[in-house]
Chain A
Amino acid sequence: MKAGLDCSSLTLCHPTEGVGALSFSLPPGSAMVVVGRNGTGKSTLLKTLAGLLPPKAGSVNLGGASVAAMRPRQRARKLAFVSSTPPRGTALTVRDVMELALEAGGHPVEASRVEQAMQSGGVQRWAQMPLDTLSDGMAQRVMLARAAAQSDTLILLDEPTAFLDVVGRQEVMADVGQWREAGKTVVLATHDLDAVHESGWADRWMVMRPPSEGGVLLPEEAFTSGAAKALLMGKD
C-alpha cells in the first residue's frame, strides 16, 4: 500500500499567512491541481508540502509520517520536487542526473534501470549531453524525468511547463496522467489551465485567492478548469 498525502489544519508561513488553515487528503494515485494568481502562495504551499518550509501551524503527513520530521535523505525517498526553472551551470549529463535521481530515491543504480528511466521520461536521446547544453525546455523535461525516477510516492510540480512549448506541455500532462495511473500522488501548481483541461486527469482542485477575494477554495465536488478560470477572474 503506497502512502497518500494528508494535510491537517495547515497554515502556511509568511508571506502567505492570510491563506488560512488548509485540510485535505490525497489518496495514492490521485492528482491535485493548484491554481491562483501570482503571489497567492502556490509555491509556498508546495515547498511546505515538500518539507522545505516549516508550516506555521498544522501538519503534512505522507503515508502517516510527518514530512517535517523526516531527515532529508528519508524525505528524498518519499517525494520529488520540480521547480519552475531548470538548473543552469551544472556539468552533469542527462545520464548523470538520472543516476543521481535513482540514488536519491533509494533505488538501485543499475544501467538497465537508468535506461528505463530515461526512456520513460523521453530523454534518452540526450543521455550523453550535459544539461547546460540543452534548451530550457529540454532541461525541464529532464528534471521531470528525474522526479519520476526518484519518487514512487509523491511528485510536487511548481509551474513546470513555464519553459515548454505546446507539444512539451502536452507531453508533461500526459506524463502526469501516467504517474497517477502508476499509483503516484501528484500536486501540480500551474497557470496552464487549458493543458490541464485537455488532459482530464485532475482529481482535486485548489484555487488560491487572497482572503479579500474569498480565500482558498477546495471544492469536493466535480470541478473544471473553466470554473477555476472564472473564479480567478472574479466571476464566481
Chain B
Amino acid sequence: MKAHWSLPLLGAAVMALFGIGLFWGPAHLEWSEEWAALQGRGGETAGTIMWQLRLPRLVTATLSGAALGLAGLLMQTFFRNPLAGPGVLGVSSGATLGVALVALGGASIGSVSGTVEMGPQVVGALIGGGAVMALLGLVMGRFRSRTALLIFGLMVGYLAGALVTVLQAGAEAGALQAFVHWGMGSFAHAGWASCTIMLCALTPAIFWSWKASNSLDMWTMGALTAKTMGVDERALSWSALGTAGILAALVTAWCGPVAFLGLATPHLVRAAGVRGRHSTMLWPVVLTGATVALLADLVVRLAGVPLNAVLSLVGAPVVLMLIVGRGRILSKLRAQ
C-alpha cells in the first residue's frame, strides 16, 4: 500500500470507528436523542452521556493511539532497533511507580467508571514519569552509545517494578485492586482537560517530527554518517527522547500503562507496505495508532475485557502473522 493511498483509508477508518463509538453504547439511546444531545438539545442524561463520557473517551483513544504510535516510531528510528517502543526509556515505569506510591500509599485512585481529570494518580504518574525524564537528562551526556541508554531504561523499569512490588506486598486489598485495575489500561478515565493537554503535546510533537524527518532519516544511516551530514546529535537526541518521553508519560498518566500500541503500530504500517522515509511513515503511523486504539476501545466496550488484554491478545498475533506473512512474500520474491 502506498502512503498516498493509506492516508484517506486510515482517515476514513478513524472517522468510521469514532462514529460507531459515538453512536453505540450500553445506554440504549435513540439516534435522534444522541444527535440532539450532540447539538446541545435534548435531555440532560443524553447530553452527559455524549459530552462527558463517550466523546472524551473517543478523543482520548484517538490522541493516545496517535501519541503512542508516534513515540514508538521515534524510538525505533532513534535506537535503530525494531524492538524499541515508548517503554524503553523507563518513563512509563516511572509513571507506574508514581501511581503506585499514590494509590498504594493511601490516596484513593478514583472511580474506574468516572473521569479523573487531575486525580492523585494523574499527579503521581506525571511526577514519576517526569522524575525519570529528569534523571535521563542528567545522565544522558555520559552515555557513549544508544545501547547504554536502552539498558538504562531497562534498569529503571526493573527498579520501578521492584518498588511497585514492595508497595503491593504491603497494600490494603481495596487499594491493591484499584491499582491492578489501573494497570489494565483504559481510555475511559480522561476528560476534556486531559484531552486538551494531550492535544497540546501531540500537535508540536507531530510538527517537530515532520520538521526533523530528514535528520531522523540520516540518523538511520548511523551516528557517524549522520553527524557528517549535518545532524546535531545532541539536539536530535534531546528532541526525540524528550518528545517520546512526554507523550508516553501523558498517556500513562490518564490511561495507565497501555501495552503494545507504541511498539506495534510502526510494524503494522510497515507490514502494510508503507516504509522508507520518516516523513512517509509519520502520518500513516499517527492514523494507524488512532485506528487501533479506537478499535481496541470498541472491543473493550463490547466484550467488557481490559484494554491491555485486548491489545495484547488480538494485536500481538496480528503483528506476528503480518511479519511471518511478509517474510514468506520476501522469500518468494528473492527466489524468483
List residues of A whose CB falls within 8 A of some B CB: 50, 52, 71-77, 79-81, 83, 85, 87, 89-93, 96-97, 100-101, 103-104, 130-131, 143, 150
Which residue of chain A has its CB nearest to the CB of B227? A52
How many angstroms between the C-alpha atoms of A73 and B214 in the bound complex? Answer: 12
The interface bits of chain B over 213-243 (1 if a CB of A lies within 8 angstroms of the residue's CB, else 0) are: 0100110111011011111100000000000
Residue B328 at the chain A interface, CB threshold 8 Å: no
Write 24 A-B pairs (CB below 8 A) sorted by A numbering.
A50-B228, A52-B227, A71-B232, A72-B227, A73-B230, A74-B230, A75-B228, A76-B230, A80-B229, A83-B225, A87-B220, A89-B80, A89-B81, A91-B220, A91-B275, A92-B217, A92-B220, A93-B276, A96-B217, A100-B214, A100-B217, A100-B218, A130-B275, A150-B229
Which residue of chain B has its CB nearest to the CB of A89? B80
How many angstroms between the C-alpha atoms of A97 and B228 in the bound complex? Answer: 14
Q: Give the distance to chain A from B313, nearest Cβ to Cβ, in Å.
A: 29
List residues of B whose CB falls within 8 A of some A CB: 80-81, 214, 217-218, 220-222, 224-225, 227-232, 270, 275-277
How many angstroms between the C-alpha atoms of A172 and B7 in the bound complex? Answer: 42
Contacts of A143 in B (CB 8 A): 225
Q: Give the distance to chain A from B257, nearest Cβ to Cβ, in Å.
A: 28
Is the Cβ of B228 less than 8 Å from the Cβ of A103?
no
Contacts of B225 in A (CB 8 A): 81, 83, 87, 143
Contacts of A73 in B (CB 8 A): 230, 232
List the 9 shortest-distance A-B pairs measured between CB atoms, nearest first.
A76-B230, A81-B228, A90-B220, A104-B229, A73-B230, A87-B221, A87-B222, A89-B80, A72-B230
Which residue of chain B has its CB nearest to the CB of A109? B214
Which residue of chain A has its CB nearest to the CB of B224? A83
Contacts of A81 in B (CB 8 A): 224-225, 228
Most chain B CB atoms below 10 A, which of A76, A81, A100, A101: A100
Which residue of chain A has its CB nearest to the CB of B229? A104
Is the Cβ of A90 less than 8 Å from the Cβ of B228?
no
Is the Cβ of A72 less than 8 Å from the Cβ of B232?
yes
Contacts of A130 in B (CB 8 A): 275-276
Which residue of chain A has its CB nearest to the CB of B223? A52
How many angstroms between the C-alpha atoms of A96 and B80 in the bound complex? Answer: 17
Is the Cβ of A80 less than 8 Å from the Cβ of B217?
no
Q: Give the distance to chain B from A118, nearest Cβ to Cβ, in Å.
A: 16
Is the Cβ of A103 less than 8 Å from the Cβ of B214?
yes
Q: Give the distance to chain B from A109, nearest Cβ to Cβ, in Å.
A: 10
Contacts of B224 in A (CB 8 A): 52, 81, 83
B228's partner among A74, A79, A87, A92 (CB-CB below 8 A) is A79
Q: Give the distance to chain A from B281, nearest Cβ to Cβ, in Å.
A: 9
How many angstroms between the C-alpha atoms of A203 and B200 in the bound complex? Answer: 58
Is the Cβ of B230 less than 8 Å from the Cβ of A104?
yes
Q: Give the distance to chain B from A152, nearest Cβ to Cβ, in Å.
A: 15
Q: Give the distance to chain B from A49, nearest Cβ to Cβ, in Å.
A: 11
Most chain B CB atoms below 10 A, which of A72, A96, A143: A72
How many angstroms between the C-alpha atoms of A76 and B217 in the bound complex? Answer: 15
Q: Give the distance to chain B from A135, nearest Cβ to Cβ, in Å.
A: 13
Most chain A CB atoms below 10 A, which of B220, B230, B277: B230
Which residue of chain A has its CB nearest to the CB of B235? A72
Q: Known contacts A52-B227, A76-B228, A80-B228; decide if A97 and B221 are in contact (CB<8 Å).
A: yes
Most chain B CB atoms below 10 A, which of A52, A80, A92: A92
Is the Cβ of B276 less than 8 Å from the Cβ of A76?
no
How many angstroms between the C-alpha atoms of A85 and B225 in the bound complex? Answer: 10
Which residue of chain B has its CB nearest to the CB of A76? B230
Q: Known contacts A96-B276, A100-B214, A103-B214; decide if A90 and B230 are in contact (CB<8 Å).
A: no
Q: A76-B229, A92-B276 are in contact. List 18 more A-B contacts (CB 8 A).
A: A50-B228, A52-B224, A52-B227, A72-B231, A74-B230, A76-B228, A77-B230, A79-B228, A81-B228, A83-B222, A89-B81, A90-B220, A91-B275, A100-B218, A104-B218, A104-B230, A130-B275, A131-B221
Q: Give the distance to chain B from A138, nearest Cβ to Cβ, in Å.
A: 15
Most chain B CB atoms below 10 A, which of A74, A80, A83, A91: A91
Q: Give the distance to chain A from B212, nearest Cβ to Cβ, in Å.
A: 13
Which residue of chain B has its CB nearest to the CB of A74? B230
Contacts of A93 in B (CB 8 A): 276
How many angstroms between the C-alpha atoms of A168 and B164 in the bound complex? Answer: 58
B221's partner among A52, A80, A90, A103 (CB-CB below 8 A) is A90
Contacts of B229 in A (CB 8 A): 76, 80, 100-101, 104, 150
Q: Give the distance to chain B from A212, nearest Cβ to Cβ, in Å.
A: 29
Q: Give the distance to chain A from B233, nearest Cβ to Cβ, in Å.
A: 8
Q: Give the distance to chain B from A231, nearest Cβ to Cβ, in Å.
A: 29
Contacts of B222 in A (CB 8 A): 83, 85, 87
Q: Give the distance to chain B from A130, nearest Cβ to Cβ, in Å.
A: 7
How many angstroms between the C-alpha atoms of A170 and B218 in the bound complex? Answer: 28
Which residue of chain B has its CB nearest to the CB of A52? B227
How many angstroms between the C-alpha atoms of A79 and B227 in the bound complex? Answer: 11
Contacts of B80 in A (CB 8 A): 89-90
Is the Cβ of A91 less than 8 Å from the Cβ of B276?
yes
Contacts of B81 in A (CB 8 A): 89
How many angstroms between the C-alpha atoms of A92 and B227 in the bound complex? Answer: 17
Q: Give the distance to chain A from B69, nearest Cβ to Cβ, in Å.
A: 17
Contacts of B217 in A (CB 8 A): 92, 96, 100
